[in-house]
Amino acid sequence: MKVHIIGGGNLGVSIAVGIAKFSKNNQVTVTRRNTASILHLKELGITVSSDNKHQIQEADVVILTIKPYQVDTVLAEILPVIQNKTIASAVSGLSLEMLQTKTNNTLPVVRIMPNIAAQFGESATCISYPEKYKEAALPLVDLFQNLGTAPVIDEKLMDAATVLGACGTAYALRYVRASMQAGIEIGFDSQTALAIAAQTVKGAAQMLLEEKVHPEQLIDRVTTPQGCTIVGLNEMEHNGFSSSLIKGIKTSLNQIKGN
Ligand SMILES: NC(=O)c1ccc[n+]([C@@H]2O[C@H](COP(=O)([O-])OP(=O)(O)OC[C@H]3O[C@@H](n4cnc5c(N)ncnc54)[C@H](OP(=O)(O)O)[C@@H]3O)[C@@H](O)[C@H]2O)c1
């Protein structure tokens, strides 16, 4: 598949690098207006251009990784030259209905919600598409499965997917940062504290994904009765650990929905 990514910023570059590394049968082009900071991608075999239409006619799919307010400008530029191409949008808040209207109902449209771990083949990319475009969407599902997981979800959950799967990266990193800060307070230098905290989170996630069990089952394995883990965990809960996370996630969702 030839993939044309418009918007070579944080997400666009992550997807481009992920494709180059983990989905090698596909060719990828990435565009942005100022390419100076992404020219190094050429070393991975990625085509880089400041022209959104560069080789776009050879593409099978166009992926939009631009900000919402950039969509109209970019579509006005490329629509005249992308007949028969699937257009996939990672733009937060842009519904499939809006995308179909903006593309004059002429192209198969797919909504994707990846995260920047696509670069490491570890994104959780939620995907939605109108049933009539299933055939066009399935190659994209395959593509993003190579970059992590790619569940197909009901579009009404796309805002929730944005919060849990994309914003979730920041929440997880803040957990690691807090652990690191605590690690320094209890005796480690910052680099060692960071390495231990990050690897511990990675290990916990790996266990969950491979064993497919409820987190509490794994927590049971770590918490000795009257031990140091359970007293620390309970102290965190007394201070609102789970509650603050749930409230934060709901606040992010309300913000996306404009409530
Ligand atoms: N970052 C994430 O983790 C994440 C996750 C899921 C979804 N998203 C969504 O993905 C979109 C991009 O987010 P981001 O964080 O990657 O933003 P970003 O880093 O600002 O990237 C946007 C890129 O678009 C480029 N751009 C702007 N106007 C353009 C134009 N007319 N033609 C071509 N490229 C243009 C910009 O570069 P130039 O100024 O050089 O053109 C910039 O590099 C947003 O809608 C966001 O909601 C992001």
pLDDT tens string 106-162: 999 999 999 999 999 999 999 999 999 999 999 999 999 999 999 999 999 999 999
- Residues 213, 141 share a domain: no
Sheet holding 2-6, edge to edge: 47-49, 27-31, 2-6, 61-64, 86-89, 109-113, 126-128
Domain count, the chain: 2
pLDDT at 84: 87
User: How sure is the predictor about 257, in pLDDT bands with cuts at 50, 70 and 90?
Assistant: confident
Where b means 16+ CB within 10 Å and e means fewer, 114-142 reads: bbbbbbeebbbbbbbbbeebeebbebbbe
pLDDT surpasses 90 at 259 = no
Secondary element (H or E) of residue 245 = helix 241-257
Distance (angstroms) between ligand 1 centre and the Cα of 197 equals: 30
Give the annotated binding-site residues for NADPH.
52
pLDDT at 57: 94
User: CATH code at 245?
Assistant: 1.10.3730.10
- Residues 12, 112 share a domain: yes
Residue 162 alpha carbon, nearest atom of ligand 1: 6
- Closest residue CA from atom 20 of ligand 1: 9
User: CATH code at 108?
Assistant: 3.40.50.720
Tell me how far apart the alpha carbons of residues 81 and 197 are, in angstroms, rounded to a whole number. Answer: 49
Paired residues of 6 in beta bridges: 31, 64
Question: Would you give the distance in Å from CA 141 to the centre of its chain?
Answer: 14
Kind of pairing, strands 61-64 and 47-49? unpaired
- If you average pLDDT over every residue of the chain, what do you get? 97
- Residues 191, 136 share a domain: no
Give the annotated binding-site residues.
6-11, 52
Kind of pairing, strands 86-89 and 109-113? parallel
* Ligand 1 pocket at CB < 6 A: 6-12, 31-34, 52, 65-68, 70, 73-74, 90-92, 113-116, 166
Distance (angstroms) between ligand 1 centre and the Cα of 6 equals: 8
User: Which of 153, 168, 198 corresponds to the end of one domain?
Assistant: 153
User: How sure is the predictor about 207, in pLDDT bands with cuts at 50, 70 and 90?
Assistant: very high
- Residues 73, 115 share a domain: yes
Which residues form the domain of 229? 160-257
pLDDT at 258: 85
Residue 70 alpha carbon, nearest atom of ligand 1: 28
- Residues 253, 214 share a domain: yes
Secondary element (H or E) of residue 202 = helix 190-211
